[in-house]
Each structure stands twice: as C-alpha cells, then as structure tokens.
A and B are shown apart, each in its own frame.
Chain A
Amino acid sequence: MSSHYEAPIREPLVLGEKSYQDISADVAAPVLGKANKSWWIVFTIALIAFLWGLGCIIYTVSTGIGVWGLNKTVGWAWDITNFVWWVGIGHAGTLISAVLLLFRQKWRMAVNRSAEAMTIFAVVQAGLFPIIHMGRPWLAYWVLPIPNQFGSLWVNFNSPLLWDVFAISTYLSISLVFWWTGLLPDFAMIRDKTKSPFQKKIYGILSFGWSGRVKDWQRFEEVSLVLAGLATPLVLSVHTIVSFDFATSVVPGWHSTIYPPYFVAGAIFSGFAMVQTLLIIMRKVSNLENYITIVHIEYMNKVILLTGGIVTVAYATEYFVMWYSGVPYEDYTYLSYGAATGPYWWAFWALIICNFVVPMTLWVKKLRRNIIWTFIVALVINIGMWFERFNIIVVNITKDRLTSSWTMFQPTFVDIGTFVGTIGFFFVLFLLYARTFPVIAQAEVKTILKSSGEKFKNLRAKHGND
C-alpha cells in the first residue's frame, strides 16, 4: 500500500524484537490456551447480569410497558437513552476500521479488530431497545414494507423511526461483513496453528478456505477499501438518522439542526472512550502490550480530545442559540440556563463535568499517556455521554410547551435492570470473543512491522534510512 519508508520521528507501533512468527504466536495464544479463573468469574457475573436483564425484558413484554417509569409526558426515557448510547458506542468501531483506513492511519491495525467487535456487540444491544420499547413488540414486523393481506398496507416512509430500522439493520450487516472479511486471514492463521482437530475443523469453516494467494490479497485489499468507503458515509448517516428521531420533531430542545453532526461527533467520542476502557484491560490480560502500546492509547486520547472539542462547541452553540432564538420555550431545554438551575440541574452539571471538564485534562501530555488516568477518563466519558442522551431525551420533554403537562421522570427497577442486562449481554459476547477470536488483526500488523516496528526502526537508525 504505502512505501516502506517512514520518518524516524514517528514512534514505533510494535514494540520489542518482534518477528512475523512472534506476532502470530502472541495473537493466537489466547485462542489456543485455556481460560483462567478470573475470566470465568467475570464471565459468570456478566452472564448473571444478562439473565437478570432478560428476566426484566420478559417481564416488561408480558406485563406491559407500564412497569417502566414512563408517564404520559415522558414517553421515552431510559429505553431510547440506552438505545442511542449503545448505537453511539458502536460507532468507534467503524470509525477505527473505515475512516482511519481511509486516512491511512497505521496505528488502527492493532485496535481495529476489537473496535469492530465492540461495534457489533453494541449494535446488538442497541437493537434490542427499539423492539422492547414497543407496546406490542410481537407486531414489530409491521415496520417492514412487506406485501400483505391488508390490501398491501405499507409503512409510512416519513418517520425517522422507520429510517432507524433501515439504518441500524444496514449498519449491523455491513459492519458484520467488514469485520468478517478482515477475519479471514486471521482465522486461517489459527486454523493452521492449532493442534486440536476440533478447533481445526471450526476455524477451517470460519476462514472460508483462505489460502492467501496474491490474487486473493489484491481483492481483499480492494474489498476493504470499497467497504471502508461505504462504511464511512454509513457511519455518519446512521447516527444522523438516530439524531433525526429528535431533530425532526417540534419539541423545544429536540428541534435543532446541529444534531446530525453533533450526534456523530458524540458517538465517536463515546465510542472511543469505550474502546479505551476495553483495550486497556485487554492489553494487560491478553499480554498484548507490545501491540497496543502507549502510543495507541495516546492517539485514541487525541481523537477523544478532538471529538470532545467538537461536542463542546456544539454544546456552546446550543446554549447560545437557545438564548439567541428568543423563544421562551427554549429556556427549559437541556442546554439552557433553565436546565442548569432546574430540577434536573444534577444531570446538566454531570454532562458538563463528564464531557467537558474531565476530558480537558487530556490536553496534558503526561495525563494523556497515563494509562490509569486514561481509563478513569474513559469511564467518566461513558457516564457523561449517557447523561447527554438522558438530558436530551428526558430533560427536554419533562418541560414542554404546556405547563399543565410538566412532570418528572423516575426510573423503576425494570428500567435499570434492562440496562444492566444489556451491559451484561455485551460483556458476555465480548468475553467470548476475546477467547475465541484473534483479537488483533495479525495479518495487518505484519504489514507495518517493517516500517513501524521498533526493531526495524532501530536497525534503520543504525544503518541509514534507505
């Protein structure tokens, strides 16, 4: 793809005296080895949370949406907050794999596989909510334009909720295909490395008979590039469509034209925070510190700073235009003086502190390269971005135009249980993934070893650059 020359000023992306053989061995180790005790403990906790959430979902569907804390004014609360939160988290995966591929960022290669896995698992969680928040989820198939016996009764294509159906399902399918194509050479590597006949059989099926011929690689690269080109507008449009759920309305605070790019920036912001959270743990427990280095963490922190900055400017814009519009109703929106001092003041300030104040510390290079601090900031951002969606959705509608319908929102244990359940489900999937999939795209890392590996950079420094 690109030439082998790299400016000496760039920091190495693969540390240690690694050879191609070492990369394969390091990546395959978690798959070929056995799970340890702590994996089982964490997996059990996640599984229990998932089962509890499943119970809450079954209870909701069989009893009715009334078991949630929704009321006549606040028809959307935790359900759609969680939906947008999970979709947002799912965006960093595609950003890392597609957008960073288009920008030829070599550092993406160590993190893209896990980021894409995170995308898939997060979108699966997100996909639950549009179904379970329906009053009659068994009629959910009516959202699809299928010819039927009601005189071909069709859907109305004017609703952003319908666009959501297409956006999310397309997003999931494309991400899945993109992820799986990238996995082929890596599954083939495991297939060729494993001694167990069972594993050989399984990975033989999963790798679709990949044999790594020149022609295959040529097409592989072309397909990756085309998919990246398609996934980039897709990732922007998916969260844009999610933002249309609110922005097309006439609710003060929801109706705002900045939502499309602002939601996308927020999605990347929260998605990268989640990638940090997961990878900081993964590099430790799977011994991948030579591949997911401090440089990778710093670069991701820089993306967090950039998108956090964009989100902050959007906050400022919302706050300013709320005042500038001169519309009195706008004073109760989530970014207004009224919100900062009203009954949901704590949610307003949680948003400002978690998404603006705390991430600002990453401007300091020492903190940006500090793994513990990065982990804390990433967690704080995940919380803050949940609050952003909560504020947008709930705070805006608790005080709408008619004072007679003003109200507050109180979640029930079922609201909370369902959310906890999706977190459990996410980690069940992610933990299973970490034990069975090659978590680093070894085939891609091998392509940058000679240009960006520490060993080869040192050799070049010693013997000249050409």
Chain B
Amino acid sequence: MYTLPSKLKLFSIVLMVLGLAGIIFGFMTTPKTIDDVKKILAEQEAHHGENHAVDHKEDTANFIDIARGEEGYSGAAMEHATDLSAEGHGASSHEEHVLHQLQTRPWSATFVAAFFFMMIALGVLVFYAIQFASQAGWSPVLYRVMEGITSYLLPGSIIVFVLVIFAGEHFYPWQNADLVAEDKILQGKSGYLNFPFFVIRAAIYLLGWNIYRYYSRKNSLAQAEANNFDHYRKNFKASVFFLIFFLLTEATMAWDWFMSMTPHWYSTLFAWYVFATMFVSSITVIALVTIHLKSKGLLSFVSDRHLHDLAKYMFAFSIFWTYLWFSQFMLIWYSNIPEEVTYFIIRIQEYQGLFFGMLILNFVFPMLVLMNSDFKKVPWFVVIAAVFILVGHYIDVFLLVMPSTVGHNWGFGIPEIAALLFFAGLFILVVGNGLGKVSLRPKNDPFIKESENYHF
C-alpha cells in the first residue's frame, strides 16, 4: 500500500497555493481599458525602440480576418498573414486587439497547464484500455499504477470543461455574434460551431471518459476478490467500446477545443496529431510514476524489463508524434495554400525557438537517449528522457493554444508558471491519493502471472 509521503504532500500543497496565487495575480493584472494598453505599448516602445516593427505583428495573431468572409479565400488570407504592420488598420482597432489578447493571456496560460495534465490522465486511460483490449501479457502488473494516474481524470476534466465553457471569446472567436454576422465562412460553420452544441459535446466527452474510468476501476478492484474471470471479461468489453468512443470523441475534442480557436483554419490530420502528443506524454508519466514507486520498494514485482517496455513505447511514440508533426507541417508547407499556411506562419515567425526547439526535445533527444537497449532499463536514463519528452510536449500544447489566442503578445511569466505549479501540485496530490487506496499488486487477473514472470 502506497501513502503519499507527507513531504511530497506538503510540497504539492505549497505548489497549489503558490500557483493559485499566481493565477489570481495573472487575472487581476490584465489591462482593463484601452488606456492601459496605450501605456503598456508606450512602455514597450521606450524599452525596445528599434524593435518597433517586431512588436507590432498583431495581424498575424488571433487570425480572424473579417474581410476574408467577404472577399473570398486566398487573397485576403495571405494579406493578413503577411501584413505585419499596423498600417491601414486604425489605431483604435489595433489597441483593442492588443487589449483582447492581453486579457486572454491568463486564460490561455491556465488552459495550457490544465489540459496538459488532463490529457496525461486521459492518455493513460487509453493506454490502459489498450492493454485490456489487446490482452497484453506484460503490463497487468502496472494496472494499479495506471489506475492511480487516471484518478486525476475526474477533477482534471471538470476543470478543463469549465475553462472551455467560460473562456468564451477569449479562445473562440466564433462565439462572438458580431463577428459571425460579418463573416460568411463562420456563418457556414455555425451548424457545428455554436455554443449549445459545443457545451453538449464537451459534456458527452466528460461523461463518457469518466464513466469508463469509474467502471473499469471498479471491475479491476472486484477482480482481485473474485475467483472467476467475469470482471476481467467485463473490462475487456468495456475497454473495446471505450476505445471506439475515444477514437471518435478525441477527434471532435481536438476540433472543438483547439482547431476552432482559429476557426478559419482546418487540417484533417489535426485530431490525430493531438492524440500523439497526449499518448506519448502519458506513457512517459506511467514510466515516471513506476520508477518513483519502485524506488520506494513498493513494486517488487515490476522488473527492469517492464521499464524497458515502457521506454520502448516512449521511444516509438516520440517517433510517431514526429511523423504526424512532419506530415501535417510538410504537406501544408509544400502546397502553401494561403488559408492553411497562416497556422504555421505565425508559429514560425513569432514562436520560432519553441516551434523548432520542441522537435529537438520531442524527437532528437528521446531518439538518442532511448535507442540503446541497455539504457532503457536504467531508471535515471529513462527519467532524463522523460523530462525532455514532458517539457517538449508541454511546449507542444503551448503552441497549440498560445499563437491562436494571444498571438505575438505571449510570454512565459507569472501566469504560465503559476498555472503549471498549480496543476502539477493538484496532479501529484490526486494521483498520490489515487495510488494509495489499495494494494499496488493486482490479483487474479488472468494474465498477472504471465506479467510477473515476464522476461525479455
């Protein structure tokens, strides 16, 4: 039985308190009026002087071009994507725009961290379901670990749900009725992108994912007491249905929560790309939690072979993520269709270091560190790779959200760090408690013996 060490508990509570204070500070200090923005801009100019041009790329940001709805597709889109100066847009509209982005920043910062930790819990749940559906023989020893991590899904997904519902126009320009009235493209999409349907969809995801998590955990615990495999069979069936449900809802979730932040832009691969990020981060967290518990001597039945397998998955899905990243990027770069390239133009122009840096963290480092078979069995090596991967995929989520919502007015300061601290603290607390409720050794699973005797 695991109990969250009191020091770790205290640490997580401190993280949460600090984080919460920082989040509140972030929301309190956003500029309220256009006058505030003018002051900020004046200060920026005083500071940067020569960098004037760089500081006014606001038209690449939060890419909603009202004109495109009237003028058609390519011309206006390209103009807005490449026109980096404020000329011709009237000073007041420019400052309003900056005001909007500055007010959005604490929302986005909170959402990035909230989603990052929620997707880890969700991805672990998917990995867990796959282990059942594929009748894996190596992983049943890790079922309690995975269930512990997925205990974060309920609080995490509720927070994300609340954020996407209340963020409104901060994230989703299509919720602005005035904008839609002027924009033919958005009017065309209103059958899907409308608020009531958006809420209903989010509620369906929330319910579906959490019901499976509750049901499978219940069966998994009941199996430990049973003397037949009925609960296992129920879990097998449930996980197959969950995986179908997930494959569908993951796609619509990615469209709803991320793609619709830039409602003119679309990419068919996008949903699976989000999935790849989610999946590789989750496997990494399973490995980290396993290493932590093993170092406490609580997982004597988990060998370095199991760690080796987890590390292989981290390696393989890092490559898989890169494959999807490259496919999406290369195809859009290659054909260079104006309405599609805007997505990457802003990311490359305003976020260049992060955009290409994340490739090193998510692909090059895991590839080099985890290629060797012996290294994959060494805990500290896996931890190093895990840190790269988690930082890299946090940046990935950051890049899904920030360029679409705050544009060039981004930063990595108090709001972002505070949100990370808060959700990290919450994650540690909830997962620690989730791991603690029952024995970490699953019993009576049909494959548990195979798993415990597992060598490779």
Contact = CB atoms under 8 A, between A and B. Distances in A.
A261 B324 contact: yes
Contacts of B268: 256-259, 314, 317-318, 321
A24 interface: no
A257 B337 CA distance: 12
B454 A250 contact: no
Given A258-B268, A324-B192, A5 B244 contact: no
Interface in B20-52: none
A3 B455 contact: yes
Contacts of B352: none
B381 interface: no
Given A248-B335, A257-B328, A321 B266 contact: yes
A257 B267 CA distance: 6
19 contacts: A2-B455, A7-B447, A7-B449, A248-B334, A256-B268, A257-B268, A257-B270, A257-B332, A258-B267, A258-B268, A259-B268, A260-B331, A313-B248, A317-B271, A321-B267, A324-B189, A324-B192, A324-B255, A465-B449
A362 to B, nearest CB: 13
**Shortest 6 CB-CB distances between A and B: which pairs?**
A258-B268, A257-B269, A260-B327, A9-B446, A326-B188, A248-B334
A249 B334 CA distance: 8
B323 interface: yes
A64 to B, nearest CB: 31
B251 interface: yes
Interface in A236-256: 236-237, 240, 244, 247-250, 255-256
Nearest to A158: B334
Interface string A309-329: 110011011101100111100
Interface residues of A, number: 40
Contact of A260 (B229, B323, B332): B323
Contacts, number: 98
Given A244-B331, A248-B335, A310 B247 contact: yes
B322 to A, nearest CB: 10
Nearest to B333: A248
A260 B329 CA distance: 12
Given A258-B268, A260-B327, A7 B446 contact: yes
A233 interface: yes
A320 B266 CA distance: 11
A309 B192 contact: no
A7 B137 contact: yes
Interface string B421-448: 0000000000000000000000000110
A6 B450 contact: yes
A2 B454 contact: yes
A35 interface: no
Contact of B331 (A1, A8, A248, A309): A248
Contacts of B143: none
A82 B324 CA distance: 26
A310 B251 CA distance: 11
B247 A309 contact: yes
Interface string B80-102: 00000000000000000000000
Contacts of B330: 248
Interface string A252-285: 0001111111000000000000000000000000
A5 B453 contact: yes
A233 B319 contact: yes
Contacts of A1: 456
B397 interface: no
Contacts of A237: 323
Contacts of A249: 335
Nearest to B450: A7
A364 B73 CA distance: 47
Contacts of A257: 267-270, 327-328, 331-332
A327 B73 contact: yes
B313 to A, nearest CB: 11
Given A7-B137, A9-B447, A261 B269 contact: yes
A13 to B, nearest CB: 13
Q: Considering residues A6, A9, A233, A257, which has the most beta carbons from chain B within 10 angstroms of its beta carbon?
A: A257
Interface in B96-142: 135, 137
A325 B453 CA distance: 53
A17 B453 CA distance: 27
B164 to A, nearest CB: 18
Contacts of A326: 184-185, 188-189
Given A9-B229, A236-B323, 15 more contacts: A3-B453, A3-B454, A6-B450, A7-B449, A10-B135, A233-B323, A240-B327, A250-B337, A257-B269, A257-B331, A258-B268, A260-B324, A309-B247, A318-B268, A326-B188
Interface in A339-389: none
Interface string B308-351: 00000000000100011001101110110101000000000000
B355 interface: no
B272 interface: yes
A248 B330 CA distance: 8
B194 to A, nearest CB: 13
B453 A261 contact: no
A320 B184 CA distance: 18
A326 B255 CA distance: 15
A227 to B, nearest CB: 15
B367 to A, nearest CB: 11
B109 to A, nearest CB: 28
A250 B289 CA distance: 46
B266 A325 contact: yes
A58 to B, nearest CB: 37
A316 B324 CA distance: 19
Most buried by A among B229, B244, B267: B267
A104 B312 CA distance: 13
Contacts of A233: 319, 323
Nearest to B455: A3
Contacts of A5: 449-450, 453
Contacts of A261: 269, 272, 323-324, 327
Contacts of A255: 331, 335, 337
Contacts of A316: 248, 251
Given A2-B454, A3-B455, A5-B449, A324 B266 contact: yes
A8 B327 CA distance: 43
Given A5-B449, A325-B266, A309 B335 contact: no
A309 B269 contact: no
A6 B449 CA distance: 8
Nearest to B276: A261
B70 to A, nearest CB: 13
B191 to A, nearest CB: 8
B321 to A, nearest CB: 12
B337 to A, nearest CB: 6
Given A248-B331, A324-B189, A260 B269 contact: yes
Contacts of B267: 257-258, 321
Contacts of B185: 326
Contacts of B244: 309
Nearest to B373: A225
Interface string A9-33: 1100000000000000000000000
A1 B454 CA distance: 10
A236 B332 CA distance: 20
B453 A317 contact: no
Nearest to B447: A7
Contacts of A3: 453-455
B447 A2 contact: no
A6 B327 CA distance: 40
Interface in B231-262: 244, 247-248, 251, 255
Contacts of B332: 257
A236 B453 CA distance: 33
Nearest to A248: B334
Contacts of B323: 233, 236-237, 240, 260-261
Given A324-B192, A325-B266, A250 B335 contact: yes
Nearest to A251: B335
Contacts of A240: 323, 327
